[in-house]
Structure 1
Amino acid sequence: MTKTIRLISPADGEVYAERTPLTGAEARASVARARAAQPAWAALPLNERIARVQAGITALNAMKDEIVQELAGQMGRPVRYGGEFGGVNDRTAYMAAIAAEALAPTVVEDSDRFQREIRREPVGVVFVVAPWNYPFLTAVNTIVPALIAGNAVVLKHASQTLLAGERLAEALHQGGVPADVFQNVVLDHQTTEELIAERSFGFVNFTGSVKGGQAIERAAAGTFTATGLELGGKDPGYVRADADLDAAVDGLMDGAMFNSGQCCCGIERIYVHESLYDAFVEKSVAWVMAQKLGNPYHADTTMGPMANRRFAEVVRGQIADAVAEGARALIDPAAFPADDGGAYLAPQVLVDVTHDMRVMREESFGPVVGIMPVKDDDEAVALMNDCDYGLTVSVWTADADAAAELGARLETGTVFMNRCDYLDPALCWTGCKDTGRGAALSNLGYLAVTRPKSYHLKKVTK
């Protein structure tokens, strides 16, 4: 008997939704329908595909009131933040605007003797395995360019955000994307891996844990299926001696605590020049104490629960281990009475931390940050690079040249100056080391969901 997937709301611990995953036969039939429908979709003019995708996103925006409530129920984000629509709209608009140029042939020669060019062709069926922390933003990073480029898309959303996939399907179908061209499916891990191993897809995009990415790679081994993997981070911030202290505190602490710390590129460790260290720590504690942990449906709540009780237990364990090893916790959990020992977790700032502690090395993905003093740029670079991950780095300074020079020395996918926790759709979203591989957004995002095909047309016979 197929096991039902149950979505437990972190807001109240109750079952929020239940879905039955497809059987293997049903899943293979879905993929077959997608493969059969894709050529006709690809044959539509580019402008027509763009218009339908944009109409789908417009339809998604019309569901905003319901979706904001559903996000609070599914993964605990406070309703005051209004969902993810700003980023969804910006990324869709940008990827649509650059599509013609990004997908245009590279013409090597067009003469009376030869036509030689490289064209971009859709890979066929794109499989998107989306995460729960930003269930719309992360999904559209691949869905939008994949559809615009002429692919069919099969979406498997995280069990914690089952309704997000359904909303995306409903909206895109309303916009005119055929039902078989975009499909939202509920799958268990075994069926997911079997489909990948059977070379069902032309490209697989996965956002999630390192363990999950390793499972995707094992399933794809020997199939030569292309994969894009964003697998996590332990993103650092660095406050140089010339930084605007108040701006750095506000930016970095928001980067550490927003969405209860459950951001792919959230700030998880901070290095501060020793001349600013004491003031930075004092102001950071004050910033955190001004937050309101509570029911995500309440308008005054700034921090909701973590998406699942077990995620909060990981963070509590990291904090407890760090304190046992000599770290100091500067926030009294009693100041946040909503902390129930379950999914609701008080934010925490740790000092006297070292890189021997799990909280400074392992991904936390929760509302905790460790802060260390450094004497100069060299020490900061060494500590920032002393990590298994490489997604983003945030440098706070008045000197753009210095930030660029530091960036050249940092093992990361994106270098930010005086901001953090942000995706610019005009820039490539990528990472290195255990963060994974691949490229999303920008014109490179179209390269991931297409393949090159060369045309060497000789117009003469001699």
Structure 2
Amino acid sequence: MAIATVNPATGETLKTFDALNAGEIEDHLIRAEQAFQQYRDTSFAHRADLLLKAADLLDADQDTIARTMTTEMGKTLVAARAEAAKCAKTMRWYATHAEELLADEQPDPADVQDSGAVRAVVRYRPLGTVLAVMPWNFPLWQVVRFAAPALMAGNTGLLKHASNVPQTALYLDELFRRAGFPEGCFQTLLVGSGAVEDILRDPRVAAATLTGSEVAGRSVASIAGDEVKKTVLELGGSDPFLVLPSADLDKAARTAVTARVQNNGQSCIAAKRFIVHTDVYDAFAERFVAGMAALTVGDPMEEDTDVGPLSSEQGRSDLEELVDDAVHRGARALCGGRRPPDHHSGWFYEPTVLDGITAEMRIHHEEAFGPVATLYRVEDLDEAVTVANDTTFGLSSNAWTRDADEQTRLARDLQAGGVFFNGMTASHPGLPFGGAKRSGYGRELSGHGIREFCNMTTVWYGPEE
């Protein structure tokens, strides 16, 4: 794929970029290693000052970078501004909390006395340069949720961003430099996917983090495994949204619409499969379909647009194939199911709700990356859990019930990295984020995320004689 900004609302190529050559990549690796050798020993207070400066700059740049994101991948301008604000918030959170999260831990001497230790300490030290392979759908947030903890831990970062968001990638490079981070601490590499293997195998790269497709995750994990390097993977999801009889149906349906079409439906943690108890199925479906059908599809730069275009022509084609396959096999489109007739350019697709889904349909097994929801009618809680878990993914889940026993059961039995009751899945810097099954492994955010790229060192002190 060419490294280029192509406006998905018009299909127009606005700017192209040359990929770095081998010599330029080598220069970046040298700078990253040199920066790490100095930066690793800086104080938390110094790192925090730099990251807080970056947050302030990002706030000042919010509208400009939001317009860049909207232009490059099609999210609404309102959503892009919110993404920039969330990134600044997360930078401040890690600047405030990193030192306590990575503080030395001292086991009770009585608990380790039989090891011969007078005392012992567990320390968290940075690993080195971390390669981040990031996707286009949240082009600022996906990077910051890696970069903020990694930099606060004393690591350096190399970013290989998606090829369709090069201007956002370069902005991040510039942002950290403007904030005063030493040269080489954070660098954007404008390279294609074919360059990733050699970079990851380089001994100056200590670890990797990837958010993206299962195919990309398998590739990076296998290379890193061969090199015995740490990885964190987030590989998408097909999140269930369960609605049970005690739910507030009006609130559940309103939230369901937002949960499905956030980021134009192109979110790993967007609810995609709506699993509804038969007692409330018809009432919920009526509200949900009405909400989806009422959404405004249009220019993502307009303030009143709810759903913009998909990020690429291929992405829309892939979504159409899933819908067409389902309809051909007996599913019903309760709304949508086509390209908007009044949008003749750009990669738009109508918000769509399908029911009558069966296991023979591709959409039952594959992630629908766009504003398409599938409805399932279930007879009881047992069937709801079975349908929810009938996927290779396990990123997050949503459940609407006010029954405490049902909540206990679902928190135990839903196979996912998160269970959100009576609300929609969202990431927050203070909560660990990641998945189970083929949604990946490892965690981002919170204390768990910042420790992923640290060397947990046991320091043992024997008696001095």
TM-score band by shorter chain is over 0.9
Q: Structure 1 pair 80/11, CA: closer, same or farther in 2 (3 Å)?
A: same
- Note if 1:449 corresponds to 2:453: yes
Q: TM-score if structure 1 supplies the norm length?
A: 0.95
**1:435 corresponds to which of 430, 439, 443:** 439
After TM superposition, give the deviation of residue 164 of structure 1 in Å: 1.5
**1:52 corresponds to which of 50, 53, 76:** 50
- Note if 1:261 corresponds to 2:265: yes
**2:134 corresponds to which of 130, 133, 150:** 130
Query: Match of 1:36?
Result: 34
- Matched position secondary structure for 2:164: helix
Distance 2:195 2:147 in 1: 21
Contact 1:120/1:453 (CA < 8 Å) preserved in 2? yes
After TM superposition, give the deviation of residue 119 of structure 1 in Å: 0.8
1:251-275 C-alpha deviation (Å, 9 max, x unpaired): 1121111211101100111011111
1:313-343 C-alpha deviation (Å, 9 max, x unpaired): 1111100000000000011467943444861
The letter of the residue matching 1:128 is: A
Contact 1:395/1:418 (CA < 8 Å) preserved in 2? yes
- Note if 1:76 corresponds to 2:80: no
Distance 2:78 2:35 in 1: 40
Distance 1:179 1:155 in 2: 14
- Matched position secondary structure for 1:203: strand
Query: Match of 1:114?
Result: 118
Distance 2:336 2:417 in 1: 35
Of stretches 85-94 and 72-81 in structure 1, the one that deviates more from structure 2 is 85-94
Contact 2:48/2:96 (CA < 8 Å) preserved in 1? no
Q: Structure 1 pair 62/372, CA: closer, same or farther in 2 (3 Å)?
A: same
Contact 2:296/2:307 (CA < 8 Å) preserved in 1? yes
- Matched position secondary structure for 1:43: coil
Distance 1:153 1:262 in 2: 26
Query: Match of 1:17?
Result: 15
- Sequence identity of aligned pairs in percent? 31
Q: How does 1:327-342 map to 2 (within 5 A)?
A: 327-332=331-336, 336-340=340-344
The letter of the residue matching 1:17 is: K
After TM superposition, give the deviation of residue 244 of structure 1 in Å: 0.3
- Matched position secondary structure for 2:215: helix
Query: Match of 2:99?
Result: 100
1:76-109 C-alpha deviation (Å, 9 max, x unpaired): 1122332412321332233233212211111236
After TM superposition, give the deviation of residue 127 of structure 1 in Å: 1.1
- Matched position secondary structure for 1:370: strand
Q: TM-score if structure 2 supplies the norm length?
A: 0.94
Q: How does 1:404-423 map to 2 (within 5 A)?
A: 404-423=408-427
Distance 2:200 2:434 in 1: 22
1:38-61 C-alpha deviation (Å, 9 max, x unpaired): 121122111110110121121112
Q: Structure 1 pair 309/429, CA: closer, same or farther in 2 (3 Å)?
A: same
Query: Match of 1:85?
Result: 84
- Matched position secondary structure for 2:349: coil
Distance 2:339 2:302 in 1: 19
Of stretches 146-155 and 193-202 in structure 1, the one that deviates more from structure 2 is 193-202
**1:271 corresponds to which of 251, 271, 275:** 275
Distance 1:40 1:404 in 2: 49
Distance 1:49 1:96 in 2: 7
The letter of the residue matching 2:425 is: D
**1:233 corresponds to which of 234, 237, 254:** 237
Distance 2:396 2:103 in 1: 30
The letter of the residue matching 1:188 is: G
The letter of the residue matching 2:234 is: E
Which runs of 5 or more structure 2 residues have no equivalent in the other structure? none
- Matched position secondary structure for 1:28: helix
1:179-226 C-alpha deviation (Å, 9 max, x unpaired): 211111111222111111234321201000001111112322321110
Contact 1:197/1:221 (CA < 8 Å) preserved in 2? no
Distance 1:329 1:341 in 2: 24
1:93-152 C-alpha deviation (Å, 9 max, x unpaired): 3323321221111123689x8342111110010111111111111111110010001011
- Note if 1:168 corresponds to 2:172: yes
After TM superposition, give the deviation of residue 19 of structure 1 in Å: 1.4
Q: Structure 1 pair 123/16, CA: closer, same or farther in 2 (3 Å)?
A: same
Of stretches 377-386 and 50-59 in structure 1, the one that deviates more from structure 2 is 50-59
- Count of aligned pairs: 458
After TM superposition, give the deviation of residue 401 of structure 1 in Å: 4.3
- Matched position secondary structure for 1:390: coil
**1:205 corresponds to which of 206, 209, 216:** 209
Distance 2:425 2:243 in 1: 16
Distance 1:460 1:171 in 2: 50
Q: Structure 1 pair 352/393, CA: closer, same or farther in 2 (3 Å)?
A: same
Q: Structure 1 pair 171/66, CA: closer, same or farther in 2 (3 Å)?
A: same
The letter of the residue matching 2:420 is: F
- Matched position secondary structure for 1:425: coil
The letter of the residue matching 2:362 is: R
Contact 1:57/1:171 (CA < 8 Å) preserved in 2? no
- Matched position secondary structure for 2:455: strand
Contact 2:163/2:192 (CA < 8 Å) preserved in 1? no
